[in-house]
Amino acid sequence: MDYALALKHQQANLDAKLLVAIRTAQAVANPSPDGCLVCGSPNSASPHFGSVSCLACAAFFRRTVALNITFNCKGNRQCQIYYELRMICRACRYEKCLRAGMKRHCVQKRRPSKHKKEEDEDEPNSAVVSPLAQYEMHMQAAGCSASIVKNEPISPSMFTKKERMESASEEDVVMDKKDLPFPLPLDEYLLLPQPHSSSVESYTEEDPSTVPSTSFSALFYQSGVPLNSILDTPNATANNSITTTPPGEAMTLADCFSERNQPPPEEELPFLKESGRELLHLLLGLEKEAMDRRRMMFTDEPLKAFTQPDGDVPYTRSTIKPHTLKGQAECVKFDHFLGFEYARKMPFVNDLNAKEKNMLLRFCSLGFSVLDIGYISSVVSEGQEEILVFTDGSYSTCGPGDFSVGWEDEEIISMEDKKKLFLSFNHCFFKQIIHPMRMLKMDRIEHAALKAICSWKLGLLEYTVKMKQMGKTMQSKILEGLIEHYREIGRDDIEVRIGEIYLLIGTLFEMYTQVTEMYKQLDIFNLLKVDSITKSLLCV
């Protein structure tokens, strides 16, 4: 798959997740009265078990009650339940079913399948029960419970093949936690002759060694561990969770009940001594310096950048001038210089090798040319006018059929050639970058945060593992600083606001890619002169 297409797909997945997060927050705050009362799905909501739900939530509730399964929430039992989320906490989903009005007694008890009835009638005495199954039946006769579900023992014969594989395949299915009084020593059962198979606890058409099983006795037959080895394993109690055995993998009881249930180790990210607030303050300072340098280079009041440095956008609607490609060439060089100053003051930059530094510099330079054009245009433009303001304070019109400013013939290029090369890109850039930024009314702190995130995030497919880890640390710290900033100014929609800003990242990557390809075409076909710095960055 092409590199640009692969990263575009990756960013599209991120955009979808962020959009789902925003919709989830909105749906939780304003649930639809006509949709599912459990997950909020607007489709196929109808009466089920005393409430109104979609077919998926109704099937989930029926299966949970019929099999009498108990789930564990890995959070604080306050997980969000929304139909567009890819993973939903089943414990919280079941609790929400109950809160929505679903009634357990409305679920009919499971009936044995017709195929199973015929097998039982034809061969009433064909079942061979394993020693551990005999022991479980003995304890049940004494009034104890050893089922994987609470309140009533359920035989594997009650499950269909699919349900047997799904009903206890997750870590949140738990055993009965009460201490079981053993009416007969366990070793007297475990030392009995062990049959090779059991029609009660194994599959009828497949080899038990090749199918994951949640049966307690089949767990040890598949792994090749003798049942009497249980006696030699410490801390083997009925309070542990059931786990499945991968085919062909030998395992001990300690592996089943200890290592398999341990959470994965957390990824160790590079340490950054600055707090989120301090990092955001550093990034904002770099943005202010860049704007003051542009005031010095491209405005009629250059000394104001020294005597009254404020770091604001140095242009207004009345001071911008028509755009020319000749002036753009000098502007691009200055943007590279600003990207250089920005990149070398970034955290972690001294820990990078030469190639890694060059990759970071390329994305920082793109930020000062592409992202800054969008931000400056959103600040300078007035009303609904469609103009594109470049970083040197020049502008061109980009409305449909509007070629009044910035499209004039020049010595190095004609008006028609300008349209062929840049018209489509300018229209796309305005609709996808400038207009959304104008609607968001981003402040300069948000702009500084977005530029830094893009510098580290948009090169993920090119960056080394070390750079990716650094990028994760930077992103985490920047978000921490943004949240503190929002709290200080009293924003209530922090999650939604961050989601809206993040949704720009995918579009910015597309614009970065188009700008890179444009410069390559200009250089290869000798359409315009491309400076040496740009050529070097394109080859990184």
DSSP, residue by residue, 495-520: HHHHHHHHHHHHHHHHHHHHHHHHHH
With bands split at pLDDT 50, 70 and 90, how would you rate the model's confidence at 1? very low
- pLDDT beyond 80 at 393: yes
Q: CA 285 to CA 532: how far, in whole Å?
A: 29
Residue 340: its pLDDT value, please? Answer: 95
Q: Average pLDDT of 399-405? A: 90
With bands split at pLDDT 50, 70 and 90, how would you rate the model's confidence at 254? very low
Residue 231: its pLDDT value, please? Answer: 39
Q: How many residues does the chain have?
A: 540
- Which of 24-28, 36-40, 335-339 reaches the highest mean pLDDT? 335-339
Residue 483: its pLDDT value, please? Answer: 94
> Do 229 and 198 contact (CB within 8 A), yes or no?
no
State whether the Cα torsion 264-265-266-269 is positive or negative: negative
With bands split at pLDDT 50, 70 and 90, how would you rate the model's confidence at 235? very low
Residue 166: its pLDDT value, please? Answer: 41
Element (H, E) at 388: strand 387-389
- Minimum mean pLDDT range among 124-133, 154-163, 413-422, 510-519: 154-163
Residue 32: its pLDDT value, please? Answer: 53
CA terminus-to-terminus distance, the chain: 20
Pairing of strands 321-322, 394-397: parallel
Q: For residue range 318-346, list pLDDT tens digits in order.
A: 999 999 988 888 899 999 999 999 999 99
- pLDDT beyond 90 at 487: yes
Residue 118: its pLDDT value, please? Answer: 54
Q: Average pLDDT of 208-214? A: 38
Q: C-alpha angle with apex 127: 126 to 129, nearest 5 degrees?
A: 145
- pLDDT beyond 80 at 434: yes
- pLDDT beyond 50 at 91: yes
**Higher per-residue confidence, 98 vs 127:** 98
Give me the DSSP letters along 1-60: --HHHHHHHHHHHHHHHHHHHHHHHHHHHS--TTS-TTT---SS-EEETTEEE-HHHHHH
With bands split at pLDDT 50, 70 and 90, how would you rate the model's confidence at 79? confident
- pLDDT beyond 80 at 266: no
Q: Average pLDDT of 91-112? A: 86
Q: What is the mean pLDDT of the chain?
A: 74
- pLDDT beyond 50 at 33: yes
Going by C-alpha positions, the residue among 372, 373, 402, 370 that lies closest to residue 386 is 402
Q: CA 308 to CA 431: how far, in whole Å?
A: 35
State whether the Cα torsion 165-171-172-178 is positive or negative: positive
